[in-house]
Amino acid sequence: MSRPPVEVVRARTSDVDGIRALVEPQAGKRILLAKERVAYYENLPEFRVVRDAAGDVVGCGALHVMWKDLAEVRTLTVRDDQLGTGAGSAILRQLLDDAREIGVARVFCLTFETQFFGRHGFEPIEGIPVEPQVYAELLRSYDEGIAEFLDLERVKPNTLGNTRMLRIL
């Protein structure tokens, strides 16, 4: 019996608690970063979700624009019982489509799941893949994800074991 297709949709305000419920166990394992509830509301337009038949959020992911041609996949996770169902891949494909639609040419991620992202065309990176003037502009950001992308020393304790990966669209 084949599975029904996975439907990825824009997150709604009513999804925030479901997103948090997915992220909290991963944050406890230091796989994802925990955020305050308000941060999810502030960043809600970046999120896509998958819901089960009961309407519960079973997967989520966000696309955060970092620069005119660069964005980051953030908070990509699925509920344990959804692993292997294609939900994570469907969310990632949608986020990559979103990136193309808004004019982003490169998508970054910081992940432990290198095989998963590798299957989707991401490759490990070393150094900083931006021009010096863009680097200088990005340094002005307070966003921790941008600091991780720039591989700044102050975020090293948060990124131990993670791999910085990039996909060119």
154 pLDDT higher than 80: no
Mean pLDDT is lowest, of 4-8, 33-37, 77-81, for: 4-8
More confident residue, 42 or 136: 42
Structure tokens at 128: 């900083």
More confident residue, 78 or 158: 78
- pLDDT computed for residue 3 by the predictor: 65
Structure tokens at 166: 């990039």
Average pLDDT taken over every residue of the chain: 91
8-state DSSP, 53: T
Q: What is the pLDDT of residues 94-109, one digit of tens each?
A: 999 999 999 999 999 9
CA 133 remoteness from chain centre: 25
Domains of the chain: 8-168 (3.40.630.30)
8-state DSSP, 152: -
Token pair 């970054």 in the structure block, residue: 108
Across residues 111-140, what is the average pLDDT? Answer: 90
116 pLDDT higher than 80: yes
- pLDDT computed for residue 141 by the predictor: 84
